[in-house]
Amino acid sequence: MNTTREYQRKLISAEEAAGMVKSGMWIDYGAICGFPSLIDEKLAARAKELKGVKIRAEHSHTVIPRHDPLQEHFIHNSWFLGRVEREYYKNGACSYIPFGLGDGPRMYRQWLKDAVDITFIEVTPMDKKGNFNFGASVTRQKAACEVAKKVVLEVNEHMPWVFGGYDEVVNISQVDHIVENYEYKIPEFPAAVITSEDEAIAALLAEQIENGATIQLGVGAVPSVVGKLLIKHNLKDLGIHSEMFNDSMMELIEAGVVTGKHKTLNPGKSVFCFAAGSEKLYKFMDKNKALAGFPVDYTNDPYTIAKNEKQIAINGALRVDLRGQVCSESVGTRQISGTGGQLEFTRGAYMSKGGKAFICLHAAREGKDGKLVSSIVPTLELGDMVTVPASDVSHIVTEYGMVNLKGKSIWQRAKALISIAHPSFRDELTKAAIKAGFITKGTVGIGF
């Protein structure tokens, strides 16, 4: 096959791509940096022509719900809500799809194999072999291409070429149409501001991470910031096996903290399935032989994770209750993000020889009225999604300390968690724990 001739034959405009969408179809967007910005814009412009178009996306920057807030024309569904989709959800214009991130490829190949009319995915320019690379978002893109009735790629010269792994490319022979996007770069994700609480958490974590350990940093402000702060703690020869690759990981590599030379799985390679960060990060990733992009059913398989000795999982949470249940994704019934890979890495790191799993959160946050609200609570709120069950939780970390809940009774867990809660709430948490029967009569006056 003459790939250049085939490319020209399949090349269409973004308007033509958007014009393929018919009322009632299921449309799947590429995940995160695989988001097809130009096609999305043209599809939004067609809102009044369409009815009941259902879109699946993830951490999307879409403008469609903004054009259709009452869902008269589009029904937007998200695997994981980012900043943009969070606002749509709050206004009733977006629905959440519960799932564990590592289940993505199987979700398409098994459960959605007849339920994708068109997939639109952002990719790199084509190479000489006719391959397009999924770049900063390998995730489950290949699986979506395999099952979609029509595959439309949006080519973006700003997408980094990321070596695999496997399933990191799709060939032109597997593609129906190509759109060239010269108007939008791939999405950037601003870095979180470092706080004194983050610095305290990072210092506690650094004491627990050995030289030669392999780390995962989850989605959210605390894990991202902690990654940056680990540079200060003189750790050596760390490795990376993570679902996400971000700026703090790039900085760890540039600082010589991450070398991967002691990894027991994929030595010398920083392994991930997607990236989210700055333009500098994406340029760093391009054709970088120290990196390897894999599909998410590899990166997030707990049994694969566990093959890395000393695997460390660092994830953030919104709330933890006194029994050890972790909510990292919703506030009551309002979805904030998604399950992502938090449970998978919590389990995989715990299974790893010498591995440890940490859930990190600030002990308190500022409420809408400006008053402090405890992040450690007697019980989760009605409607809170449990991201990590109490039976899976081990280390919980706040700026006031670290506790390991493994092997502890409910009264021990309650006392341990109260010990790392914000001091302003410890008395009322203790009273609530006694009232709920978590701290029993015989355990009131003893240590945990």
- Positions annotated as catalytic residues are 243
Cα–Cα distance for residue pair 150/390, rounded to 1 Å: 43
Cα–Cα distance for residue pair 236/243, rounded to 1 Å: 22
H-only helix segments in 93-218:
104-106, 141-147, 196-208
Length of the chain: 448
- Encoding tokens for residue 321? 């209750």
Are residues 132 and 165 in contact, defined by beta-carbon separation less than 8 angstroms?
no
Cα–Cα distance for residue pair 352/355, rounded to 1 Å: 5
- Report how far apart, in Å, the C-alpha atoms of 149 and of each of 19, 144, 285, 436 are: 15, 10, 31, 54
Could you tell me which of 269, 265, 276 has the C-alpha nearest to residue 293? 269
Token match 């699986």: residue? Answer: 143
| CA dihedral sign, ordered 413, 415, 417, 420 | negative
Question: Which neighbouring-strand residues pair with 275?
Answer: 245
Cα–Cα distance for residue pair 390/416, rounded to 1 Å: 14
Are residues 106 and 140 in contact, defined by beta-carbon separation less than 8 angstroms?
no
Cα–Cα distance for residue pair 327/316, rounded to 1 Å: 9
φ/ψ of 369, rounded to 5, equals: -85, 5
Cα–Cα distance for residue pair 433/416, rounded to 1 Å: 12
How many of the other CB atoms lie within 10 Å of CB of 71?
18
H-only helix segments in 112-246:
141-147, 196-208, 221-229
